[in-house]
Amino acid sequence: METLKKEKTAPSKQIRKRISGAEAIIHCLLAEGVDLIYGYPGGAIMPLYDELYKFQDKLTHILTRHEQGATHAAQGYARVTGKVGVAVATSGPGATNLITGIADAQIDSTPMVCITGQVARHLLGSDAFQETDIIGISTPVTKWNCQVTKASEIPEVLAKAFYIAKSGRPGPVLVDITKNAQVEEFDFSYEHCTGVRSYNPYPKPDIKAIEEAAHLINSAKKPFIVFGQGVILGKAEEQLKNLVEKAGIPAAWTILGLSAMDTEHPLNVGMVGMHGNYGPNLLTNECDLLIAIGMRFDDRVTGNLDTYAKQAKIIHFDIDPAEINKNVKADVAVLGDSKVTLDMLIPLIKANSHESWHNEFKEKYKIEFEQIIKNDVYPTKEKLTMAEVIEEINIASGHRAIIVSDVGQHQMIACRYAKFKQTKSNVTSGGLGTMGFALPAAIGAKMGAMDREVVAIIGDGGYQMTIQELGTIFQNKTPVKIVVLNNDHLGMVRQWQELFFQSRYASTVMVNPDFVKIAEGYHIESKRISERKDLKATIKEMLASKEAYFLEVKVEKEDNVFPMIPSGASVSDIRLK
Amino acid sequence: MENKWFTISVYSENSVGLLNRISGIFLKRHINIESLNVSKSEIDNVSKFTIVVYTTEDWVRNIVGQVEKQIEVIKAFYHTDEETIYQESALFKVASTLLFDERNIQNIIKDSNSQIVTVSREFFVLAKTGRRNEIDDMYQQLKPYGIMQFVRSGRIAVTKSEMKISSLLKEFNQ
């Protein structure tokens, strides 16, 4: 009995039949439609780099300055294109440096294939130079991983790797290839993988569950949609919009769902979660039906589960059966690809408007606007705020930029205030919260969407975690726009210290270098501003530049992000100050 | 929700590293694996893990979902003791002199339905298959006479209900 389904691909004419494992890797990547990879060479992966040299006209390799940067770049590329990102590293430290990016891709469902070199087969287990058990290390953070010790295994394993990475709920896959397998020659042929018998990536939707869901939606008085990245990964943006408009249901997003729906859509009521909008959080506990689409009820979204939407019936649409009833019990679970299930649902939905219910969101927005948004976006105080910078970018880019944010206060502000017309435009590290994500991810995002403006929004802390990737930007002339919102603090931790640790600012004050000089060292056009009068013109200048541009904005040092649901509190306990 | 005994049955491809992947899921949730057995199953080239845990139904449901999500796992189930037929095996190594000097030893062998696997000049080995409590009883009875070595296997179990793995695999190959 076969365990894999395969599809023969027409062999490319240039391929000699008998080739090395390393050359086979290149042909596998080309057969999977890969034309851009990120990585860093080293001893155990040198045979592959030797082939990359020969195939550089077909396959571009971007040398990052650290393997972690390669993974985040691959993630950024994958997030904006929907294609599989590829990162390559050598054995030992090269491989372990991939782990943060892999863990990030796992929790944020990003399709990625990582290829690592490994010591030769006869040295495995002997503590050889740069040997590390990367299969053991990466197991908990990969969707799948596999070690290859023979050249002849390469095509099937890589075909399976790409299939697994991109199908169903996407995720990272690591393939570890011993040096001897890269050198050995074998008779090459390639077949795409189209199925793995022990893996069911697309559960068949149950029409009964969809009918039940439709019944609940049609009879609800206060229905509320919360959508996540499942909508983007399932390419169901159109379906979501149709459902929202037909049923007249207010819809809010998780930070990974952001940009799946136009932020200016009248029924888009904002963001849920710890620093989400006031209305969506508060009214989660007042709706009578919560419709979760492609989201996983993360603790940063739900707060205390014991007091989360207890009054409401819950419908959970998801592709991953393991997410159903994991955190929140669903009254109706609809398994399947969001595009397929929503397409089945929409014809069963009765047109509605729920006007008075929608007005409740508008009322709450007014409160939030008066108490928070107004002061964030249109401040009257002297120092610049993070939010007014984001707003200027909104205006100057016409809501069309891809925003890549790092982790911390600036991320929450970027997610709260950035406006998006297009899907796949918000790239951020949501689940893992990886500081240092944004700069390399922005490189990948830009390379995946050369026709679009890519703006990285980074704090002064996270920026210095992967600052060396300025070298990658310089070497490749990647025209990304880098905005560091500098408050000379690890702002989010400082905020928690202020609110919950009686202002004991343990290790959150940053004495920062001259960021502009550092950017200049990499020959990147750069500027620092600290006054409101310079903001508009500088953002315009930055976006008008055809090249990379670094902008440091000195912002108020001790601003806090509000609203806020304190860790472990109920969504009803959302604080406005 | 109260803790209960659950038997988790996992049908999987026979692949290197899967045990590590599965045990990691228990590790993450700090759940002790009370017993673990891996063997072939009724289907060619399909392995079967039998894992026993003592936890709540909510947790076992979540764990089974996350186990089943692993690429090389075909299907995973959990059952209560009432829903399964289960056994464990144990071996007792005892000094041979006791077989002749202690009359009661022969009664224990008879009453426990255990088998003598081997007898040598120095020791003999008893094999006992049964429920955990039966093995524990036999252990307690033999203990006063001295047990040279003791080992007990993990639980093996079959379920009263059908698991339908073959039809699942057939579907894939269509």
Distance CA A264, CA A399 (A): 10
Model pLDDT for residues A74-128, shown as the tens digit of each residue: 999 999 999 999 999 999 999 999 999 999 999 999 999 999 999 999 999 999 9
Given A160, A179, A313, A419, the catalytic residue: A179
Which positions in chain B touch A195 (Cβ < 8 Å)?
Answer: 172
Q: Are B21 and A164 a contacting pair at CB < 8 A? A: no
Q: Are B66 and A322 a contacting pair at CB < 8 A? A: yes
The answer for residues whose C-beta is within 8 angstroms of residue A202's C-beta and 6 or more apart is: A167, A168, A319, A336, A337, A340
Average the pLDDT over B28-41 and give the result: 94
Query: Chain B neighbours among A 139-198 (CB < 8 Å)?
Result: 139-140, 143-146, 164, 195-198
Q: How confident is the model at residue A9 (pLDDT cuts 50, 70, 90)?
A: low
Judge whether A203 is closer than 8 Å to chain B, CB to CB: no
Give the per-residue pLDDT at B35.
Answer: 94
Instruction: Among A1, A136, A324, select the one facing B169 at the smallest CB separation.
Output: A1
> φ, ψ for residue A559 (rounded to 5)?
-75, 150
Active site residue A129: yes
pLDDT at A14 over 80: no
Give the per-residue pLDDT at A6.
Answer: 86
> φ, ψ for residue B71 (rounded to 5)?
-55, -40
Distance CA A23, CA A20 (A): 5
Active site residue A492: yes
Judge whether A3 is closer than 8 Å to chain B, CB to CB: yes
Distance CA A524, CA A515 (A): 11
Give the per-residue pLDDT at B155.
Answer: 95
Give the per-residue pLDDT at A12.
Answer: 56
Give the per-residue pLDDT at A7.
Answer: 82
pLDDT at A16 over 90: no
pLDDT at B22 over 80: yes
Q: Are A198 and B12 a contacting pair at CB < 8 A? A: yes
Average the pLDDT over B21-40 and give the result: 95
Would you say the C-alpha torsion A566, A569, A571, A573 has a positive or negative sign?
negative
Q: How confident is the model at residue A11 (pLDDT cuts 50, 70, 90)?
A: low
Q: What is the mean pLDDT of chain A?
A: 97
Give the per-residue pLDDT at A15.
Answer: 63
Distance CA A41, CA A128 (A): 18
Active site residue A67: yes
Q: Are B62 and A322 a contacting pair at CB < 8 A? A: yes
Q: How confident is the model at residue A510 (pLDDT cuts 50, 70, 90)?
A: very high
CB B32 within 8 A of CB B62: no
Give the per-residue pLDDT at B99.
Answer: 85
Distance from the Cα of B7 to chain A's closest Cα (Å) equals 19
Model pLDDT for residues A189-238, shown as the tens digit of each residue: 999 999 999 999 999 999 999 999 999 999 999 999 999 999 999 999 99
Burial category of A258 from C-beta neighbours within 10 Å (exposed 0-12, middle 13-18, buried 19 and up)? buried
| Interface contacts (A, B; CB < 8 Å) | 52
pLDDT at B172 over 90: no
Given A344, A447, A492, A542, the catalytic residue: A492
Q: How confident is the model at residue A46 (pLDDT cuts 50, 70, 90)?
A: very high
Long-range contacts for A326-329 (Cβ within 8 Å, ≥24 apart)? A326/A296, A326/A297, A326/B62, A326/B65, A327/A296, A327/A297, A327/A298, A327/A299, A327/A302, A328/A292, A328/A297, A328/A302
Give the per-residue pLDDT at A162.
Answer: 98
Q: Are A198 and B73 a contacting pair at CB < 8 A? A: yes
Active site residue A355: no
Q: Are strands B35-40 and B4-13 parallel, antiparallel or unpaired?
A: unpaired
Model pLDDT for residues A378-418, shown as the tens digit of each residue: 999 999 999 999 999 999 999 999 999 999 999 999 999 99
Model pLDDT for residues A175-193, shown as the tens digit of each residue: 999 999 999 999 999 999 9
Average the pLDDT over A519-544 and give the result: 98
